[in-house]
Chains A and B, each alone.
Chain A
Amino acid sequence: GAVVSQHPSWVICKSGTSVKIECRSLDFQATTMFWYRQFPKQSLMLMATSNEGSKATYEQGVEKDKFLINHASLTLSTLTVTSAHPEDSSFYICSARPAGNTGELFFGEGSRLTVL
């Protein structure tokens, strides 16, 4: 149980285009999902906390208009990288916490974005 799935697992796009990444909790409901960014050989950097039915809470330094987050249902959150540039190339990971749970997170497989 507690499976989180991300799609796509990798994507290549041209500079200036927008890319949407989906995060789904397959066998549980998640009122809260988190989006992380991981640079090579570095830790996971929290970008934003996504709450179902409300606006996401962004960490300091993360551009809200650049990284649009939508948590439309208890099983789906999306991250849209708008007007992508090469510096946005990274590994994006989502995680979800089952509703009523205050502890561990379950992680998706990650999505590798390469912007040319």
Chain B
Amino acid sequence: AQSVSQHNHHVILSEAASLELGCNYSYGGTVNLFWYVQYPGQHLQLLLKYFSGDPLVKGIKGFEAEFIKSKFSFNLRKPSVQWSDTAEYFCAVNLRPGANSKLTFGKGITLSVRP
């Protein structure tokens, strides 16, 4: 079955550390890929997305992600995290993109950034 895997459940970093959150999916066809963030007490917001073209996509707040098709991966990165990046991060995959297609979410990764 198609699935989305996020490798860590809880990541703890100090401010200014670099961040990489892993995301892998299992589906051989065309996909759209997303990273969403959920700050404490807030709703899900889109960080970035990949549909086609340049596999390195840049999102808001200094985040970027690289789509590596051969590895079925879409890892999220940020060179230097801030305390305000503390949140839950979800990778999501849209399989067979279309008007009614569903987003499948990974289990999410909790990022805690120490001041």
Q: Point out residues on A near B: beta carbons under 8 Å.
A: 31-32, 34, 41-44, 46, 49, 51, 93, 95, 97, 100-110
Closest to B44 in A: A107
Q: Point out residues on B near A: beta carbons under 8 Å.
A: 32, 34, 36, 42-46, 49, 51, 90, 94, 97-108, 110
Given contact pairs A43-B105, A43-B106, A103-B51, A32 touches B43 in the complex (Cβ within 8 A): no
Docked Cα-Cα span, A101 to B115, in Å, equals 40
Report 26 cross-chain contacts, Cβ distance below 8 Å, ordered by A residue: A31-B99, A34-B102, A34-B103, A41-B110, A43-B90, A43-B105, A43-B107, A43-B108, A46-B102, A46-B104, A49-B102, A93-B43, A93-B44, A95-B44, A95-B103, A100-B99, A102-B94, A103-B51, A104-B46, A104-B49, A105-B103, A106-B46, A107-B36, A109-B42, A109-B43, A110-B43
List chain B residues, Cβ under 8 A from A34.
102-103
* CB-based closest 3 A-B pairs: A107-B44, A109-B43, A43-B107
Which of A31, A42, A93, A103 is in CB contact (< 8 Å) with B49?
Answer: A103
Q: How many A-B pairs fall under 8 Å by CB?
A: 54
